[in-house]
Every structure is written in C-alpha cells, then in structure tokens.
Amino acid sequence: MKIYVINLMLGFLFITSCIDPYQINSKGEGKYLIVDGLVTNREGPYSVLLTYSTPRFSPINEKVTNASVKIIDDTGEEHHLIYQNDGKYQTNPDFRAKIGKSYRLLIENDSKRYESDLCLLREPSCIDNISIQKKTKPGEYYKNDVLQLKVDASICSDKETCLRWDVNEDWKIHLRNPDYFYMVDDTTFGWHDDVIKECYKYDKIEGIVIKSFQNQAEKIVTDKLVASISTYTSDRFFTRYRATINQYSISPKEYSFWNRLKETSEEQEDFFGKQPYSVYGNVKCIDNPEEQVLGYFQVAGVASREIYIGRGDISNLGLGVYSYEPCAVDTLFASDEYSIYEKYLLKIRSDEWVLSSGFYKEESLPPTLELLGVVFIGAECGKCSRNNARVEPPMGWME
C-alpha cells in the first residue's frame, strides 16, 4: 500500500470512509493532526499515516512518531499498530479485515485521545470491463490528444454504496545503450555476463474519481472515465504498459467527503496546494471536541482489474508515442600523458556514463590494434537506476 505525504488534500490520494464538519482558521497557520489510513478486504498489513499540518510556507508536514494507534472492530477486538517510519504506523500482517464488519481507529498522542467513526467494510463491487479510447481536442496541437481509460462497473451488494477509483501504472522500457562491456586495462575490453536491457517503471495517477448512485434505479456504471494519459510526454507506451484500476466501495458519507475535496481542489486550481480547510473528516478529539482534526480513516471493499496496452494499441487509436532526447555522448582519446584506463574508471565511477564503444587506428590490424579512444553514452541511456526504474518486473507482470 502506498503512503503519500502531500501537504495539501490531506494526503488522501493514498487510500478511503465516514465525515463530520469543522471550521478551521482559513489562513492555515495552525497546527492540526492529520490522519490518513485505509483498511480493505485485501491482505494486510494496513497502514495509518499521522502528521501535523504545517503553515503555508512549509513544504513538509511534521511526522507524528510516538503515538499509540489501534484499530477496534465492532466486537471490541483490538489490533495495535507498530510505528515504522516517517509517521507511518502498521498493523500485524496476520490481521485481515472482514467484509461486513465495522472498524474504528483510536489514537493517543500528546496526552489526548482521538477516534474515528465506526465504518463498515463493504463488499467489493464488480469491474465488468476496461476500455481505451482516444480523446481528440479539435483545433489544438495533435500532441494534446490523450488516451482515456474507462470502466464499466456494477454494485454487487444491497448495501447503499458509492464508488471511488484510482489507477496504478507499470510499464517496461528498453535501454537504448545497455552496459555491454567494460575496460580491463589500457588496451583490453571485457563483456558483462548478464546485460540488463529492460527496466520497469511505476507511478500512480492522482485525481479524485467517484460515483454516487443516488436517485439511480440501476446501480451500474458505463464508460466511466477514470484516467486521461498523454502518450507523448513520457515513455509509458513505448514498449508495454499496464494499468491496474482499483475500485473502492465506499459509504455515501465518504462519497460526500471526496466530492467536497474534489470541489475544493478545482476551486483552488491547484490540486497540490495547501490544506483545504473547508473539507471535513471522520476523526475527532475525544478530550477536546473543539479541536479540529484533519484527515480520514478509510474502510473500503476494493476490487482491481488490469489492462495491458502495447505500442500497437496506441498506433491503432491514431495516437503517437514519446520521442526520446538524444543520449549524451562523450569521447575520451588515448594519450601518452595519461592512462586511458584510469580516465575510464573515473568516468564510470561517477555513475554518469556507460561505456559504448572503442575506436582504433584505421591501419592497425589484430592482434596489435592501436586504441585511439573510447566513447561514452549518458547513463540515462544505459542504466535502470538513472531512469528511476527497477530491474525486476513488477508482481504479476505478463508479457
């Protein structure tokens, strides 16, 4: 489960549940506890993030590191959370929440007690289909066209349920200049045994996508837009891309929370601005009801479905793909004044370059080839680490 520490929308694009109104100094100069947690029908551990809001001039929330945190179900059974790092508290992995049960969050911090509403873990709803299509903006530059992800869904429960969606992304890239070989000395080269040619990237599409079925006879969703993605601004679709759509079954009260949060962000025209002090949460201070607490303890049934998209799929929609910038190139010439091998080591140890090739005096012949120099390519073209990418494919990845 991914935790976001975002000094704004209460950090909530991490996870989802229940809500009470409050009013806070609109200047945002106070220090308020922010609670952000999620319990689902998935296997644990579950996490709760505790921070303090910060003034508008501060870019990072203060972490709460010494609180007592526990989750209590509707039978009174307690599950204690252990502090991990950066304000994150985590349950024992053996604890798994059950559909149909309700859960409450209790916190003790600075000699004060806080608790959330008791929130029902609803049955996950069905994602019936995922589709893709091109969205064209008439009269504008063609690179403004986007790929749209849409879902068909239906409520699988008789409980009054609303829906929320988020999207996790994985994609594969090919390194343009893999790190094939290395220098042994001033004249000798060796070849790496296991050359890494592919890497995998990960991201999460931020945004608030929700659906209420109020005054709707049939609890179904058709062609619900959950994400719009540019195919031109990143290497997402250059090789192979996977979108995992998570669909959360939430209460009408929680829907109201997300809806107000969305309206606030749209009014500010800056989703990643500061705290939205007019949005309400479901956590209160037991000892001081007047104290304002930001945040949400989310309890939601979640269902997920994946879609793989290849470069051919993008072309079939009439969309293009990202164009890489040329790789940086540097040349090191041999000289009697220094060891080219020692210069090579300095370049490689900087982690900025990958050895690409060597070149020789034209009239020299094996085995007495005379090395004139070597060519280096920028590491962003030859190393996964310089692309913020992983070597191992993500869990469940399919070719």
Q: What is the pLDDT along the chain (399 residues), one digit of tens a residue?
A: 333 333 334 444 444 333 333 333 434 456 889 999 999 999 999 999 999 987 655 667 889 999 999 999 999 999 999 999 999 999 999 999 999 999 999 999 999 999 999 999 999 999 999 999 999 877 667 788 999 999 999 987 777 889 999 999 999 999 999 999 999 998 889 999 999 999 999 999 989 999 999 878 888 999 999 999 999 999 999 999 999 999 999 999 999 999 988 888 766 544 334 444 557 689 999 999 988 888 899 999 999 999 999 999 999 999 999 999 999 999 999 988 899 999 999 999 999 999 999 988 876 666 667 889 999 999 999 999 999 999 999 999 999
Nearest CA to 61 out of 49, 73, 53 is that of 53
Q: For the whole model, what pTM was predicted? A: 0.84
Secondary structure string (H, E, C) spanning 4-43: CCCCCCCCCCCCCECCECCCCCCCCCCCCEEEEEEEECCC
Cα(15)–Cα(63) distance, integer angstroms: 18
CA 186 to chain centroid, in Å, comes to 45
* N-terminal to C-terminal alpha carbon distance within the chain: 24
Cα(111)–Cα(286) distance, integer angstroms: 11
- Strand arrangement of the beta sheet that strand 220-229 belongs to: 126-135, 146-154, 220-229
Cα(399)–Cα(397) distance, integer angstroms: 7
